[in-house]
Amino acid sequence: MQPFLNFLAKINKKEYSSFYLLSGSESFFIDRICDSLIENLVNENSKDFDFSQLYGKETTASEIIEIAKRYPMLSKYNVIIIKEAQFINNKELDILAIYASKPMLQSIIIFCYRGKSFDKRKKLYKEVAKYGEIFDAKPLFDNQLNPWVKSQMINKKLKMTPDAVELLISNIGSDLNRIDSELVKLNLIFSEDKLISKDDIEKHVGISKKFNIFELQKALGLRNFSHAFKILQYLNTNPKENPIVLILSGIHSYFQKLLLIKSIGSNYERIGINPYFIKEYENAAKLFTMKQLVNAMEQVLIADLESKGIKSTGKSSQEITEGLLLKLFAI
**DSSP designation for 108:** E
Predicted confidence (pLDDT) per residue in 143-163, tens digit: 888 889 999 999 899 999 998
Q: What pLDDT band is residue 315 in, cutting at 50, 70 and 90?
A: confident
Predicted confidence (pLDDT) per residue in 281-296, tens digit: 999 999 999 999 999 9
Instruction: Determine whether domain 140-207 maps to CATH 2.130.10.10.
Output: no
* Strands 107-114 vs 19-24: parallel, antiparallel or unpaired: parallel
Measured in whole angstroms, the distance separating CA 261 from the mean position of its chain's CA atoms is 25
320-323: list long-range contacts, CB under 8 Å, 24+ apart. Answer: 320/244, 321/232, 321/235, 321/236, 321/244, 321/247, 321/248, 322/229, 322/232, 322/233, 322/236
**Is a pLDDT exceeding 70 seen at residue 239?**
yes
Q: What's the pLDDT score for residue 312?
A: 67
Distance CA 99, CA 81 (A): 15
**Is a pLDDT exceeding 80 seen at residue 1?**
no
**Is a pLDDT exceeding 90 seen at residue 172?**
no
Please give the CATH topology (third level) of the domain spanning 2-137.
Answer: Rossmann fold (3.40.50)
**Is a pLDDT exceeding 90 seen at residue 207?**
no
Q: What's the pLDDT score for residue 26?
A: 93
Distance CA 101, CA 127 (A): 5
Angle between helix 142-155 and 162-172 (nearest 10): 120
Secondary structure of residue 156 in the 3-state scheme: coil
**Is a pLDDT exceeding 90 seen at residue 314?**
no
Predicted confidence (pLDDT) per residue in 15-56, tens digit: 999 999 999 999 999 999 999 999 999 988 888 899 999 999
Secondary structure of residue 113 in the 3-state scheme: strand
**Is a pLDDT exceeding 90 seen at residue 86?**
yes
Which residue intervals of the chain bear CATH 3.40.50.300?
A: 2-137
Which residue intervals of the chain bear CATH 1.20.272.10?
A: 211-331
Give the chain's count of helices (H) and strands (E): 17, 7
Question: What percent of the chain is predicted at pLDDT more than 90?
Answer: 71
Predicted confidence (pLDDT) per residue in 109-143, tens digit: 999 999 999 999 999 999 999 999 999 999 998 88
Q: What's the pLDDT score for residue 289?
A: 94
**The domain 211-331 is classified under which CATH number: 2.30.42.10, 3.30.460.40, 1.20.272.10, 3.40.50.1820?**
1.20.272.10
**Is a pLDDT exceeding 90 seen at residue 267?**
no
**Is a pLDDT exceeding 90 seen at residue 268?**
no
